[in-house]
Structure 1
Amino acid sequence: MTDATRPTAPGVDPHRTTGDGRASCHHGEILQGYFHDGNRHLCHGLVTLPMDGPGSTARFVRRPGSPPDEVTVTPDSRTKARKAAVLALRECAALRGQDPCGGELTLTGDLPVGLGMGSSTSDVIATVRAVADSWGLRLRPETAARLAVRAEGASDPLMYGPRPLLFAQREGRVLEVLGSALPPAVVVGCALGGSEPVDTLSLTALVEDGDLAAYAHLRRMLRTAVADADTALLGRVSTASARLRQRVLGHREFLALKGIADSTGAVGVQIAHSGNVAGILFDPRAPGLDGGLRRCSRALAREGITPTRTFTTFASPDHLGVPPWTTTSLKPSAART
């Protein structure tokens, strides 16, 4: 076994030519800004809010003997996934000691594009996993992250699963493992900006005096929130980070969103720092949770903000009685095919 691979699953034929992969999405960021690594190198970093459910599924059929760059993708608009497939093919061929080849990639999923939920990274990671599976391999998260950054330019940390990480998205490396799980929270999701996609590559980061100290402070606060399972502190971090990011995004609904959180007993708000998806965070242990969720949904509707879905940061929300009335679909025009 090399540093790039994990053991092949029992019973997997190493000579197979068809592979499958899947990757989930996230719901925007809890924290995003500029942070120092262990060597005091300053880099972009983020902590995403995991969300189970929507995601991308990939199937890859290898064509041994075909040119290595001869990869087709359906839908043909998924150019980042195609690039990831070519990179993963070369990686896996080298691990197997064989010549790289081409193949056919098919992507399906239910993720909206451009709302800041990691749709392109989900495509890319699902693709990398499918290509590796077609070789009878499972690549390590570090390898998948390296390939994803090469394919996208910047990547979300979906390859590492739901645990909270401070991740350098432009370098594909983990700056800090914050813990095993975020504090428990119920999130009422919504879409700002009329659910319209955002061109993330067009966004320009603005850094002002005091920002680096502010981000370092929020990092320490989040570390404490995770260690103590402190949902209220989690809300304070995500709200402060969202407010800092408004210099770039300028959501006209941000003040209304914050007002709804304050008036319904929520602990804070979170937004996608490169998109329009947002959420209002509640502590599941607080009294009157169900009433707060209902008031929140009604208040969002009054403000013309589209509620999307209610979800949790932990595995099973059943004991909370999270009601189905808070779950709707995102704007059809933003949905993926």
Structure 2
Amino acid sequence: MQGVFRDAAGQRCAGLVTLPMAGLGSRATFVRDQNAAAEQLAVLPTDRTKARRAAALAVEECARQRREPSCGGVLRLTGDVPVGLGMGSSTSDVIAAIRAVAGSYGLSLGPATVARLAVRAELACDPLMLDDRPVLFAQREGRVLEVLGPALPDLVIVGCALGGGAPVDTLSLPVRVHDDHDVRAYERLRTLLRRAVATGDAVLLGEVATASAWRGQQILCHPEFETLAEISRRVGATGVQMAHSGAVAGLIFDPAAPGLEHRVRTCVRALDSNGIPATRIFTTFPTSKELRNGPAHRGVDRPAGPRTSRRPTRLPSL
């Protein structure tokens, strides 16, 4: 879910709720050079400019806490999060960079500090620095507007890529001005999502995600979105989720509903027949040992989080 909401003081605030997916991420190492000036900070690969800014800000913060002069160094990044698709690749790099710099100083920065530095580095960030609880997060301010509950309902997601998987230049997208009617609509979705999390209601959560996705299409305008929504209805998914900015999407399934495997297989075939490539199947709950270690695990990601599934789930390979 993404939109404009009211904060505790009643002020409008852009916010989002992220769908977590385990299995992908960024790793960073930072080697300080105390003989180099602060501006002599190199990053590899060289195009990770947001991560470089984050590292420079983290050096300034850590040096201040250690009461040492700032210095330069070398930041190295590796990772497997696709770039430009709305999967949080830049935030992943930025947070890895901040934590690597802090580690080089022997420090562990708290989530609030990491969020503050991440927003300064990339203007808006995902709440990847927080724990696994679903939160309504002010991505441009780096603060939590509401903790929605202990965990998302159990979900199975069939991920896919719209637009042929081409990256989306989010900075070129038009900025929509939200009025009071929009804010009231998003606050209603917030109330429903809070209820879905509290009751573990995968159907209600799917309805919220779909409603938010439809509103987001006013800016993103993916030509395949109506087809995706129709496939969702046809195969018995609870709804559709869209990247906050980008081309990745997912169809949401309730693992407790009958015929899960058939529904998922039918979904993958329907996506393929409409020229929408399915990417991966993942869950918001730990899968059974057989699923993790057996042949069905191909293309299936284990989720983060401590929850156990309501029953062992078999998913088709992809």
TM-score normalized by structure 2? 0.91
1:119 alignment partner in structure 2: 89
Q: Which residue of 1 aligns with 2:252?
A: 281
Residue in 1 aligned with 2:305? Answer: none
In the alignment, structure 1 residue 200 sits paired with structure 2 residue 170? yes
Q: Of Structure 1 and Structure 2, which has the larger fraction of its residues in strand?
A: 1
Corresponding residue for 2:116?
146
In structure 1, stretches of 5+ residues that fail to align are 1-30, 326-337
Q: Note the C-alpha offset of 1:209.
A: 6.2
Q: Are 1:249 and 1:273, in contact at CA under 8 Å, matched by a contact in 2?
A: no
Q: Aligned pair 1:320/2:313, yes or no?
A: yes
Equivalent of 2:275 in 304, 307, 312? 304
- Paired AA for residue 54 in structure 1: L
The Cα shift of 1:163 comes to 1.7
Corresponding position of 2:148: 178
SS state of the match for residue 309, structure 1? strand
How far apart are residue 220 of structure 1 and its match? 0.3
Query: What residue is the counterpart of 1:272 in the other structure?
Result: 243
| Structure 2: distance between partners of 1:310 and 1:265 | 16
Partner of 2:54: 84
Amino acid of the residue matched to residue 190 of structure 1? C
Instruction: Name the amino acid aligned to 1:110.
Output: D
Report the Cα distance in structure 1 between the residues aligned to 2:9 and 2:193, rounded to whole angstroms: 21
SS at match of 1:194: helix
Structure 1 ranges of 4+ moved more than 6 A? none
Taking structure 1 as the reference length, the TM-score comes to 0.86
Partner residue, 1:258? 229
Q: Is the 8 A contact 1:115 1:277 kept in 2?
A: yes
Kindly, what percent of the aligned residue pairs are identical?
59
* Shift in CA distance, 208/40, structure 1 to aligned 2, threshold 3 Å: closer
Within 5 A, what are the aligned runs for 1:52-71? 52-71=22-41
Counterpart of 1:154, as a letter, is A
For 2:25 and 2:317, the matched residues in 1 are separated by 20
Report how many residues are paired: 295
Contact 1:203 1:274 in 2 (8 A): no
Where structure 2 has 5 or more consecutive residues not aligned to the other structure, the ranges are: 292-311
Q: CA deviation at 1:294?
A: 0.2
What residue is the counterpart of 1:238 in the other structure?
Answer: 209
Deviations 1:12-43 (A, max 9, x none): xxxxxxxxxxxxxxxxxxx0000010001111
How far does the alpha carbon of each residue in 1:100-146 deviate from its partner, in whole angstroms, 9 at most, with x for none?
A: 11110011111111110111000000000111111111100000000
CA contact (8 A) 1:267 1:283 kept: yes
Q: Which moved more, 1:36-45 or 1:309-318?
A: 309-318
Instruction: Name the aligned partner's letter for residue 228 of structure 2.
Output: L
SS across alignment from 2:183: helix
2:159 match: 189
